[in-house]
Chains A and B, each alone.
Chain A
Amino acid sequence: MSDRSERDQKPEAVRRYEFAKSTRRTFISRLGMAGLLATTARVTTAFGQSSVKEQSGSAESKDAIPVTLTVNGKKHNLRIDPRTSLLDCLREHLHLTGSKKGCDHGQCGACTVHVNGKRQLSCLAFAALHEGDEITTIEGIGQPEKMHPMQAAFVETDAYQCGYCTSGQIMSAVALLKEPCGADDAEVKEFMSGNICRCGAYQNIVAAIQKVREGAKPQKVG
């Protein structure tokens, strides 16, 4: 966390984001490391050291093929196993961890990204099939210092609780602005039905979208 004078100059939304980043992210990665160490110890005991290597995301598969991907306007030359989903490629190879893995079977929407401007599920896609496509992730939509209006609206209407589904929700919500979605809440809910929120923040998600669509200053509901 930055010092007080810098904090005071930042808008509430940015401070909330940074708070989340510096606590939840570090907390989870520490937890993940502890989990990995625990697993490694167990695997080593049971099967010897050879199993440990498979847990490294950076190890190249013997079946790897060259793939060029354009993500958030930047070209990446990669060597990946053809089985690599677009989601795993974004997260594990490009370290763009904003897109989340929920169900990994196209049922929850947490992995939603834009492909050539249209929203798709990155878990039901092989990265190698997306050469030449323009891929946009939540990181390409906005950043803490320059949020997309939809991101700001989500913060201001309290459109999330745990936040796990949020990047997928926002990717869908941003795409929805250009889709033939009717004006009323029922239409918005239908267009957003591919994004599940287990915390049940649906009411405020709809409010955030409607606020952006109306071009009004977002206000907290309820």
Chain B
Amino acid sequence: MKAFQLTRPKDSAQAIATAGKTKTAQQGADIRFIAGGTTLIDLMKLNVEQPQNLVDVNRLPLDKIEATSDGGLMIGATVRNSELAWHPLVRKNYRVLSEAILSGATVQIRNMATTAGNLLQRTRCVYFRDTAMPCNKREPGSGCGAINGFNRNLAILGTSEQCIATNPSDMNVAMAALEATVHLRGAKGERAIPIGDFHVLPGDTPQRETVLEPGDLITHVTLPPPAPGNRSLYLKLRDRMSYEFALASAAVVITAANGKITRARIAMGGVGTKPWRSTEAEGELTNQQATQAVFQKAAEAALRGAKPQSQNGFKVELAKRCLVHALKLVTQPA
């Protein structure tokens, strides 16, 4: 690991001013915020990340969960994943978020990892994590080892000629289905970014994963009030039953009355280069009866643009079945 300087800012303003001097907030940043460290320290040990300065945000007052005046929820950036998943308001109103978080990692890691850190969780693509291998995300222009390489667990949606790395987060998928908003504070003031716009597709610049600019500090995430009468669920399919990343997952938030779906929010994990909201699937479900045939149409719509690689063609069918099964479970009579 490369040597670094540790900065302990007295407040958010000082943290932002320090981090604002980095040349990028993306891959290869020379100054980084550190909270739980579960991704960053791992990548620093691998020399994939080599920051010269770490800004400790653990002591900043960003660790609260509070109901908002409109009936939604405010989740602080440094709230630990465990605390969020077990919070009474999350268990009651945002079941899909609790289930998604608890399906990821382990108790120890969830006790460390934070809301903002999970939003910025990095891919598990083995070429990204191994500095001896080519990777356009880690080293732009070096090529992609995964295309025609080991790509069994990589993305089939949102890929480019440069990168097929999967976004590994479960929390992000639930956040996408819940239409969360990410709140930032930076050199130019505060910004609120819908989660669908927060992560960006790899395109020709896979080293760029989010809209974050130097100095941007994620302060909190907000969730809109829960849709009246909705039921939600997270279904995750993987090689092991515990402590494993998704091959395919589905976050579904459905409102139905008398067997008819009136509102649907769908996002998928394990298949996309970013948390994959599918408005196409939502369109196939809205104002339709909750039947197997309708679920199948929604799944076909969600995977229509899928581009399988040499080893992950099975994910297309797996993801469809995952979504169909999740919809079946969530619309079953209680």
Contacts and interface: CB of A to CB of B under 8 A. Distances in A.
Given A120-B108, A120-B111, A189 B6 contact: no
A109 B243 CA distance: 12
Given A124-B112, A125-B41, A193-B243, A82 B6 contact: yes
Contact of A172 (B1, B86, B107): B107
B251 to A, nearest CB: 20
Interface in B63-116: 82, 86, 105-109, 111-112
A189 B240 CA distance: 13
A211 B105 CA distance: 26
Nearest to A130: B58
Interface residues of B, number: 26
Contacts of A125: 37, 41, 112
Given A172-B107, A172-B108, A193-B242, A118 B41 contact: no
B38 A175 contact: no
A104 B243 contact: no
Contact of A104 (B4, B5, B45): B45
A109 B45 CA distance: 17
A109 B1 contact: no
Given A124-B112, A125-B37, A129-B56, A193 B45 contact: no
A25 interface: no
**Main DSSP-derived SS at the A contact region:** mixed
Interface string B7-50: 00000000000000000000000000010011001100100000
A18 to B, nearest CB: 30
Contacts of B241: 190
A189 B242 contact: yes
Nearest to B80: A118
Contacts of B86: 180
Interface residues of A, number: 31
**Main DSSP-derived SS at the B contact region:** mixed
B54 interface: yes
Interface in B111-133: 111-112
A65, A115, A190 pick with most chain B CB within 10 angstroms: A190
Given A124-B37, A124-B38, A129-B34, A191 B6 contact: no
Contacts of A198: none
B293 interface: no
Contacts of A85: 41
A189 B37 CA distance: 25
Interface in A12-31: none
B42 A193 contact: no
Nearest to A114: B111
A193 B242 CA distance: 6
Contact of B109 (A128, A176, A189, A194): A194
B106 A83 contact: no
B334 interface: no
Contacts, number: 74
Contacts of B54: 82, 126
Nearest to A175: B107
Interface string A186-219: 0001110110000000000000000000000000
Contacts of A120: 108, 111-112
Contacts of B6: 65, 82, 126, 128-129
Contact of B42 (A124, A189, A194): A124
A105 interface: yes
A106 interface: yes
A23 B189 CA distance: 63
B91 to A, nearest CB: 10
A81 interface: yes
Nearest to B106: A194
Contact of B112 (A65, A82, A121, A128): A121
Nearest to B91: A180
A129 B4 contact: no
A54 interface: no
Contacts of A106: 38, 42, 108-109
Contacts of A193: 106, 242-243
A112 B108 contact: yes
A105 B38 CA distance: 9
13 contacts: A82-B5, A85-B41, A118-B82, A119-B111, A121-B38, A121-B109, A126-B34, A129-B34, A172-B107, A172-B108, A190-B242, A194-B109, A194-B243
Given A129-B34, A175-B107, 8 more contacts: A82-B3, A82-B4, A83-B4, A121-B112, A124-B112, A172-B107, A191-B107, A193-B106
Interface of B: 1, 3-6, 34, 37-38, 41-42, 45, 54, 56, 58, 82, 86, 105-109, 111-112, 241-243
